[in-house]
């Protein structure tokens, strides 16, 4: 059965067509985004673009209804409150995260990841929070630590709920980072020889065992997510899981490869509203 599923997905690679062709040539981030949207809306004309913020739930009304019921009384409220405590607890110098982030940290999360021209690299929201800690004499959290940086980020993103994603690629160096992330997204890897696009472009909406595969557009608006109750998963945690599922060695979370991948991936959700700290299967 597992081999049949893999064969089906590999066969589906032939259906990428225009989307893969567009990604192999240099194009502007906006033209890439429009190419993705055109691909999905042509394949699934009955799904509205704004519904892609729900991920795979957009393809299944029953799952969407279950999601809405769960979100009435989320089982992970205590985790968000723990993140709020981390956010509001002053540093040893008496300052807080709100003191060193634009607009007090509100309505800014949709700008991340962003390319920092001074540093010459992509800076994720997690990295910005760690930079704030270091600037105030505190040790940075480990990027992969979900109990500290994960919860902190989950709460901080709720301060930007409804903000439209706004990832900017405005310089040659930023474009190089974007293209590197795009290359990772479309490059086959691992023993199964899959790319991120193998599942989340041409096989979006297809069932893998009992689960529907989500589209890449809309992905970045809702991470971190809570899976199976209060199990918090960050976007780069999920990248790590995907690498392992195709039997590839994942790059380190917070590495240039992972950050550039998140930069490209997040830009595909530009113009869609953030829905932070939600339930996903």
Provide the annotated binding site. Answer: 100, 132, 196, 199-200, 238, 242
Residue 242 is among the residues annotated as catalytic for this protein:
yes
d(CA 151, CA 81): 9
214 touches 56 (CB < 8 A): yes
Q: Which tokens is 17 given?
A: 């067509």
Q: Which residues are annotated as a binding site for substrate?
A: 238
d(CA 235, CA 258): 10
Which of these is catalytic: 142, 242, 270, 271? Answer: 242
Q: Which residues are annotated as a binding site for heme c?
A: 100, 132, 196, 199-200, 242
Which residues are the active-site residues? 242
């Amino acid at each position: 059965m597992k081999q049949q599923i893999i064969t089906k997905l590999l066969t589906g690679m032939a259906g990428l067509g225009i989307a893969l062709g567009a990604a192999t040539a240099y194009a502007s981030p906006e033209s890439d985004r429009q190419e993705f949207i055109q691909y999905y809306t042509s394949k699934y004309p009955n799904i509205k673009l704004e519904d892609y913020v729900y991920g795979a739930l957009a393809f299944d009304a029953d799952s969407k209804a279950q999601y809405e019921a769960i979100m009435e009384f989320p089982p992970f409220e205590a985790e968000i409150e723990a993140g709020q405590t981390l956010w509001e607890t002053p540093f040893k110098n008496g300052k807080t995260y709100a003191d060193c982030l634009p607009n007090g940290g509100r309505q800014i999360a949709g700008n991340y990841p962003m390319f920092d021209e001074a540093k010459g690299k992509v800076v994720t929201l997690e990295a910005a929070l760690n930079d704030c800690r270091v600037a105030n004499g505190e040790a940075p959290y480990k990027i992969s630590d979900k109990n500290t940086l994960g919860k902190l980020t989950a709460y901080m993103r709720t301060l930007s709920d409804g903000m439209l994603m706004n990832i900017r690629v405005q310089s040659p160096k930023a474009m190089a980072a974007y293209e590197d992330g795009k290359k990772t997204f479309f490059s086959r890897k691992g023993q199964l020889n899959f790319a991120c696009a193998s599942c989340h472009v041409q096989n979006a909406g297809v069932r893998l065992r009992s689960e529907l595969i989500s589209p890449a557009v809309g992905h970045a608006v809702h991470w971190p997510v809570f899976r199976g109750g209060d199990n918090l998963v960050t976007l780069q945690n999920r990248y790590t899981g995907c690498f392992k599922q195709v039997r590839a060695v994942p790059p380190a979370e917070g590495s240039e490869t992972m950050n550039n991948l998140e930069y490209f991936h997040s830009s595909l959700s530009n113009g869609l509203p953030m829905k932070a700290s939600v339930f996903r299967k």
